[in-house]
Amino acid sequence: MGTAHNEAKPGQIAKAVLMPGDPLRAKYIAETYLEKPFQFNTVRNMFGYTGFYKGKQVSVMGGGMGMPSIGIYSYELYHNYSVDLIIRIGSAGSISENVNLMDIVLAQGACTDSNYAYQFGLPGSFAPIADFQTLEQAAAEARAIGIEPCVGNVVSSDVFYNEYPDVNQKWADMGALCIEMETAALYMNAAKAKKKALAMLTISDHLFKDEHLSADDRRTSFSQMMEIALNTAISSI
């Protein structure tokens, strides 16, 4: 039975799902990397596909922008579709001297300015973290294709057009590597569902150096990250 946001039937979604923000990137990944891709979702144009990579079943589905959006889609994948692992593949803006355009960040942890954790009623703040095994595997897959990943804390913000961008410096002072908008919700959902998650981020902007990739680059130039994500996904199955 489907959900309000996903019309896939039971069994149509693989145990491991790659989740870009942009549903057209999901389509591109399915058509470029997967054999026999089958589209399981068109609701709200949040396209999802299942296919085969190196003989193993993998799915790829858009997650949208922001914590509420990825919160909905990841929750349903974990709880309604028995998905074990979600790998977010996205972009982020660097706030670190050591993290440059096109670098790949593996989000070991995700700080946030969002109130998403409020729902869990905890007597303190929660530290959203990646699944360690998946993180280790992704680092190994990156090195296998000659890329040294940047591993550390990221910031999942509710705000893209920040009225007071000075706050980014405060996160940088705490050692956070980059700003994006989804990972903390994904990691919290995974924790609550007792499932696995990892976010892999390509740096599309440097927020302190005013450097940016073009929109076309954002959609098409992440082939290295996709290869790392796909190989990490199939090794988890």
Residues at the interface with ligand HPA (CB under 6 A): 91-93, 157, 160, 179-181, 204-205, 207
- CB-wise, 85 or 181, nearer to ligand HPA? 181
Sign of CA dihedral 177, 67, 141, 147: negative
- CB-wise, 141 or 180, nearer to ligand HPA? 180
Active site residue 205: yes
Residue nearest to ligand HPA (CB): 93
Token pair 């942890």: residue: 109
Decide: residue 98, CB within 10 A, 0-12 exposed, 13-18 middle, 19+ buried.
exposed
> At closest approach, how far in Å is the CB of 86 from ligand HPA?
18
Catalytic residue among 84, 103, 131, 205: 205
> At closest approach, how far in Å is the CB of 198 from ligand HPA?
17
> At closest approach, how far in Å is the CB of 160 from ligand HPA?
5
**Which residue blocks in 99-182 are alpha helix, DSSP H?**
132-144, 167-173
- CB-wise, 118 or 161, nearer to ligand HPA? 161
- CB-wise, 120 or 160, nearer to ligand HPA? 160
CA angle, 151 then 157 then 160, to 5°: 115
Q: Which residues pair with 211 in a beta bridge?
A: 206
Distances (CA, A) of 171 to 68, 96, 113, 153: 22, 10, 10, 10
Active site residues: 205
